[in-house]
Structures are given as C-alpha cells and as structure tokens.
Amino acid sequence: MKESLVHETAKAYRRLLLAGSYPGRRFNLDMEALEFDFTMPFSRGLMLLIYTLIDAEVSFKVVGKSAQEATRLISRLTYGRPSDLSSADFIIVLEDATEAEKGEAILKSKVGTLIDPHRSATLVMAVGTFGEKNDLVLKGPGIREKSVISLGGLEALMTLREEKNREYPMGIDMVFVDHAGEILALPRTTQIERRSSSWPM
C-alpha cells in the first residue's frame, strides 16, 4: 500500500470512530488528495472505506449488480476473503443493489452471540446522496436527546434493521457513504423511529 494511502486510511479510520461515537452525524472523509490509478464500480469514498476496513484477516461479501467485478477488485487490493452473507465480517452493499438484495443483506447478516456479540457483521451501504428528507429520528448513546436524519432512500430498510437488532447485545452495525465521501454510522445501540409513527421495538 502506498504511503499516501496509508495516511488516508488512518484518517478515514479516525472519522469512522467519530461516526460510531456520534450516530447520525455526518463526517467527511476528506478525499481531495486521494487518487486511485484504477477504475472501480463504485465511489472513491466506498473504496477508501474498503481499504480501511478490509484486510487478509477478515471476510467480506459484496451485494449488487456489480458484485462480481467488485469482489475480484477488493480481493486483489486488500487480500480480504470473499464469503457468503451469513458468515461475512463486512457486507458491502453497492448502490446498484436491488431493494430485495439490500433487505436480504440485512436479514442474512450474522449478529454474533451473547458471549461474543462482536463476532457480528458490519454493513457498509453506498448511497448517491443522503438527501434532506429527514424522516428518521435517532435515540441512544452518543446522541443528545435525539437526532433527525435522512438516508437517501434507504429509510424503509430500517424496519429490518430494528428486527435484526432486537436481541441486544447481538446485532449489526451499519455505515453509510455517499458520492461526496460523507459517512454516517448507525451502531446497534441506536434506536430508530419514523417521525410520523414509531416502529415496534
């Protein structure tokens, strides 16, 4: 890995930690100096997160129409181990994935065990833009009173997330990244409601 990329992934990791500590708050990956000398079937921001999170010690699964091409690229660049949905440490959901594929990624992801809840999956989901719909209300650790967010059309999937995280401390963590390199994290400890009506918890 180039020295400049090592520096960029270190910065990205710090932003990820901040995003996890303050759910719902957007953090920019600051990619102005970042250049890749290859083409990829997804955004530069997602590529930087992949470099930051995936290495030879972890497994991953890519979901979307470009999954085959993306899997080959990620394996070659990071030495990460391709896996299936039920056992992958990281699930990369591309922007071109169908709604059914996105839902399946959530439903089939691993949640860890009561003894080892950290042996769960992290879903990294690509969005074009977060938008300004702001119809999701977040509550929980790291949030002062409440936070209102938009997820770029992925709001309906949050019902599945709530079901998946019902048996805390087991559950899944989620990170979202848009084309501009902004990230937003939803740890399993974060509770989500629609502004109009609450989901069953």
CATH of domain 3-194: 3.40.50.11310
pLDDT digits (tens, 9 = 90+) for 133-182: 888 999 999 998 888 998 888 888 999 999 999 999 999 999 999 999 99
Strands (E), the chain: 27-28, 59-63, 81-82, 90-93, 122-126, 136-139, 147-149, 173-177, 182-186, 191-194
Mean pLDDT across the chain, nearest whole number? Answer: 92
How do the domains of the chain map onto residue ranges?
3-194
pLDDT digits (tens, 9 = 90+) for 74-86: 999 999 999 999 9
Task: Give 13-20's long-range contacts (Cβ < 8 A, gap of 24+).
Answer: 13/52, 15/183, 16/49, 16/52, 16/53, 16/175, 16/183, 16/185, 19/175, 19/183, 19/184, 19/185, 20/142, 20/173, 20/185, 20/187
> What pLDDT score was predicted for residue 197?
53
pLDDT digits (tens, 9 = 90+) for 15-49: 999 999 999 999 999 877 678 888 999 999 999 99
